[in-house]
Each structure stands twice: as structure tokens, then as C-alpha cells.
Structure 1
Amino acid sequence: MARIPYADPEAPENREAAAYIVASRKKLGHLHRMLLNSPPVAKGWIDLYDAIRWKTELSGKLRELAMCQVAAINGAKYEWAAHAPIALKEGATQAQLDALPDWSTQGGLFDAAETAALALCDAMTRHVHVPEVIFAQVKAALPPREVVELVVTVAGYNCVSRVLEALEINGEDPLS
């Protein structure tokens, strides 16, 4: 069970933010219901993550592999359950998903851009600071815009997993 109650989307103070979320995501999931405890945060969250997920040039496969790797490292089961199916739809293989988080020992499963992205993801998630050799691999694999988009994706989904885990948000929790 989550550590605090999920917000009521029908409460007068939450209706506008709830409608904003539904307009973007078509539904109110557990994370969104929790975020409604602070309507301004909920709306800003949607704007940021809509930009990361749907307004970047970073390939969907690379984006979702990074999101899944963050979830795997951080033990964020809700995040993994949400993004693993999307990763498959974006072109990741089940073998690639199964190799996370120990991807670096699985030779041949990932191309150069994926290897660079996963190394960046590991460094940012596990250590915050990214060694120059890893950043150089990312710069060699991606244009500057996509480098920024990848970094923000990894940072953003570390935020997601930390919110999910700190509040113990579980997709199986009853919402009412």
C-alpha cells in the first residue's frame, strides 16, 4: 500500500489537473493519482514527461531501454511494468530486456548507440557523475540534441523511480 492516500480526482481542487492528465494520458494511473495530491506538480509532471516521451528525436527503442534500465537498477517494479511492454513495441527484444541490468556482460545484444546509452544510464543512476570515456562514447553515437534528450530521459526516470519507491506506489493498490 502507498504511504499516503491516493488523491480523489473528483475533489474540486483536483478536477482541473485530473482532466489535464487524462487529456494527455487517456487515464489516471496510480502515479498520477498520487501526484494529484499536489495539482501544480501533477500538471508540471505531465508537461515534462510528455516532452521526454513524445517530443524528442531520441529513438523510442533507446528511450525505453534507458527507462527500463533505470527501473531495473532502482528496483522500481511499477516503472518496469509500465515501460517493458513499450520497449518491446519500440523494437527492443525480450532478450535485451532480460539482459538488464547486467547488460554489459551480454555480448552482441546491443549496438554501439545502445551500449553507450546503457553505460551512461548506469553511471548516472549508480554514481551521478559520468566518466569522460563513457560520455565520449555517447557523443560519438548520438548528435548533441539526442545526447541532451538521453541525459534528461535518464535523469527524469530516476526521478520517477524515486517518487514511486519513496511513496511505495503500487499498481495493484486499490484507488478508492
Structure 2
Amino acid sequence: MTDRLPPIPLEQLNAAQQAVAQAVIDGPRGALYGPFVPLIRSPELMSAAQQMGEYLRYRSAIGTRLSELAILVTARQWDQQVEWAIHAPIAMEEGISPAMVEAIAAGRRPAAMTHGEALVHDFCVELQRNKRVSDATYNAALALFGEHGVVDLMGLNGYYTFLAMLMNAAQTPAPPSSAAPLP
């Protein structure tokens, strides 16, 4: 597979691209990688996307550990190797068990999950597969996370689906990772 939108050397970026690239480099990500490589071609879109992603990844109302779980489920649903390579190790650092990561990679519902993990997993799978969430799952998530948390959970699914679509179409290669690639 050929990378359709490969990295552009920083010195070849125009002023708008340089500004948005620097914002990503100066932020919590610290570097221009993954989805930001193809996104740099659209600086305004990249700026909006990186701001949303920074909120969802680092400050969502459901917390970092459960956000990382939602990211993994979304990456699995879209067969997105870049997001998997980046986020599987982070999810485990945040407390998602290796067995849970392995089950998600294999497309199975993990056997052992906390109540919150099960709600996030099931909510994401329903939303991704069925394009909607059942009343039972929605109401359980609402009871645990409140409206703010449920909206952030929907936002995580939408944002990481956007990135998956972008990188799958651009054929962005996965970076080296301690995580095994998705089967």
C-alpha cells in the first residue's frame, strides 16, 4: 500500500501549514504524526480537528482510560492500524488490561470488564455497527456518565471515525508500536 499523502518536510510547508503544524508540535502531542500528516494539506480543517481531538483525548468527561477504550473500539471497527498502533499502548498505560486489548483486536467482547468499561465498549460497538444506540445502553451510559459524558462518548466515536476514514483513504502507514497490528 502506498502512502497517498506522505509527510511534507517542514521547510516546504506554507505559512498556514507551518502555523498549524507548530500548534500541534507545541501542544500535548509534541510532534506532527498520524492523522496530522495527511491533514496538513488542509490547515483550517487540521486546526479544528486537532483542537477537538486534544479535548477528547486529554480532557473528556469520561476520563482518559475510558476515552482510550472508546478509541480502541473505534479503531477496531474501522480496521485503523495507525490509531491502533498509537492508542493500544496508551490504553494499557491508562489501565486497560492486555486481555481486553487483545479481545478488542480479535473483534470479541472482552470477558472481564468493569461496569464503566462494559458500558463504553457496548455503547461504541452499538453506535459503530448499528449506527445508533439502544435505549438500554444509552440510559445506562447516561446514568453513569451524565449528559456531558454521553456527548463526549459520542464525540469520541465521531472524531476517531473521521480520523480512521481520513487515514484509511490516505493509506497512512502505521508507526512502529509495541502493540501488535490489528489482524
Instruction: Tell me, yes or no, whether TM beats 0.5.
Output: yes
1:47 aligns with 2:48: no
Give the aligned length. Answer: 170
Aligned partner (choices 127, 137, 140) of residue 134 of structure 1? 137
Q: Report the equivalent of 1:82.
A: 86
Q: Secondary structure at the match of 1:143?
A: helix
Cross-structure match for 2:8: 7
CA contact (8 A) 1:8 1:33 kept: no
Question: Gaps (5+ residues) in structure 2?
Answer: 177-183
Match of 1:21 among 7, 24, 39: 24
Alpha-carbon offset, residue 172 of structure 1: 5.1
**Match of residue 165 from structure 1:** 168
Contact 1:78-1:169 within 8 A present in 2 as well: yes
RMSD: 1.7
- Offset of 1:7 from its aligned partner? 3.4
1:72 corresponds to:
76
Decide whether the 8 Å contact of 1:7 with 1:37 is kept in 2.
Answer: no
The answer on whether the counterparts of 1:124 and 1:155 sit within 8 Å (CA) in structure 2 is no
Deviations for 1:49-83, whole angstroms, at most 9, x for unmatched residues? 01111222312111111100111121101110110
3-state SS, counterpart of residue 151 of structure 2:
helix
Q: 1:77 to 1:23 in 2, by over 3 A?
A: same
| TM-score, length-scaled by structure 2 | 0.85
Runs of 4+ in 1 over 6 A off after TM superposition: none
CA distance in 1, matches of 2:37, 2:78: 22
Unmatched tracts of structure 1, length 5 or more: none
| Bigger Cα displacement from structure 2, 53-62 vs 5-14 | 5-14
State the Cα distance separating 1:5 from its structure 2 match.
Answer: 4.1
TM-score (norm 1): 0.88
